[in-house]
Chains A and B, each alone.
Chain A
Amino acid sequence: QKEVEQDPGPLSVPEGAIVSLNCTYSNSAFQYFMWYRQYSRKGPELLMYTYSSGNKEDGRFTAQVDKSSKYISLFIRDSQPSDSATYLCAPQETSGSRLTFGEGTQLTVNP
């Protein structure tokens, strides 16, 4: 069993839709949770960084962590064609330790 499971998609939505991207994990020691966005043929870039359970909002993006169920979510409101990318979840045990990456979910937002 992989430590981090992520539905690879592809996921296709119309512009303006609310998008929900999810990961589950098995390692109870994970405390830090990140989401990366990767455009085609580019390196991933850090999108959201949260610690422990709860929600964090940044503009149209909301990251949610439920440690009791080992479930990580990223919500995108009012999705735009420029949000079309692969989104990778990446939990971490301690600050500065190795990241464990999910497989990534490929998202397409259609105009």
Chain B
Amino acid sequence: GAGVSQSPSNKVTEKGKDVELRCDPISGHTALYWYRQSLGQGLEFLIYFQGNSAPDKSGLPSDRFSAERTGGSVSTLTIQRTQQEDSAVYLCASSETVLNTEAFFGQGTRLTVV
């Protein structure tokens, strides 16, 4: 596709369950970012990938959060043992090799933990 694709667009899960969010970046983009936006908050950085490696994982809120990227393309963000405070919109973005250019965002996955 032409843009960044995220799935699912909406996810409702029970507290304590694991969830997996998927991101398909723009073809050829080597940098991939995960951000989240909680209600009333700005965009919170979680992790980014350059190729398949993640130079900066400093934004991951806890060890329940992990992410991987394979083949320099698709990325998955996994949240284990979800908590209500994990409810947010999770946004994925990709950009070309040089990271200080604009990143193109997907439409996000709205996660609701009940």
**Is B truly associated with A?**
no
Q: A residues within 8 Å of B by Cβ?
A: none
